[in-house]
Amino acid sequence: MSEGLRARLEQRIPEVERRTFLRYSLIGMTAAGLGGFSVAAIGQLWPNVSGAFGADIAVGPAADILEGILSERRPLEFPAGRMYVTAWNPSVPGAVDSYGEHHVQIDGSNGLMALYQKCVHLGCRVPWCQSSQWFECPCHGSKYNKWGEWNSGPAPRGLDRFPSRVDDNGTLVVSTGTILTGPARTARVLQQEPEGPHCVDL
């Protein structure tokens, strides 16, 4: 390259000063950070349609689920949906009025309801006690009957729940994106005494 051409090119390409380079670098990094934050924020607001918690979840064949619950005398625990699926009886006086709108009725004496596994007191996961046939919170002793209605302890109400339906294929579908507030302490439709020893004595 001739000296004349080199001189002309150097005149056309201005030398970048250190201060200018640092300024543009800072602007670029700030823009990239804000862009990443914006994408994450939008992702939190975008509805979850993957079948995980926060979406409609296909749990399984409703008839098989009911049969398993009745034969084993325990609700179906479904960790992916943070729920228990329990059986309820629409023929109990007041049951349809209290629970018929949002929970599955399979026939005149059998239905399914999905209970949020979280204690409404301070949010602990509430395990099922097979001996008492109640849900019993190990954290502070709140106890709920097998329909998730409050029986004792500091919880202000019964377990929250999710609406459910049976689709055209007979599959139980639970809408975990909608949390239904649990029944009031006084709204105990199922008068169920403990059927054996408690698992939690608090």
Identify the burial level of 89 via C-beta atoms within 10 angstroms of its C-beta, where 0-12 means exposed, 13-18 middle and 19 or more buried.
middle
Please tell me the predicted confidence (pLDDT) of residue 66. 95
pLDDT by residue (tens digit) across 31-55?
777 777 766 666 555 544 445 677 8
Ranking 8-12, 34-38, 175-179 by mean pLDDT, the lowest is: 8-12
Tokens of 123: 């949010």
Query: What pLDDT sits at residue 49?
Result: 47
| Strands (DSSP E) found in the chain | 56-61, 76-78, 83-88, 104-107, 110-116, 128-129, 134-136, 143-144, 150-152, 161-162, 164-166, 171-175
Picking from 89, 42, 39, 81, the residue whose alpha carbon sits closest to that of residue 60 is 81
Q: What is d(CA 29, CA 162) in angstroms, rounded to the nearest whole number? A: 44
Helix segments in 118-175, DSSP class H? none
Q: How confident is the model at residue 15 (pLDDT cuts 50, 70, 90)?
A: low
Delimit the domains of the chain by residue range: 3-45, 56-175
What is the percent of the chain with per-residue pLDDT over 70, rounded to a whole number?
Answer: 84
Q: Does domain 56-175 have CATH number 2.102.10.10?
A: yes
Q: Provide mean pLDDT across the span 165-182.
A: 94
pLDDT of 48 reads 46
Res 9 pLDDT > 60: no
pLDDT one-digit tens code per residue, 61-85: 999 999 999 999 999 999 999 999 9
Q: What is the pLDDT of residues 113-128, one digit of tens each?
A: 999 999 999 889 999 9
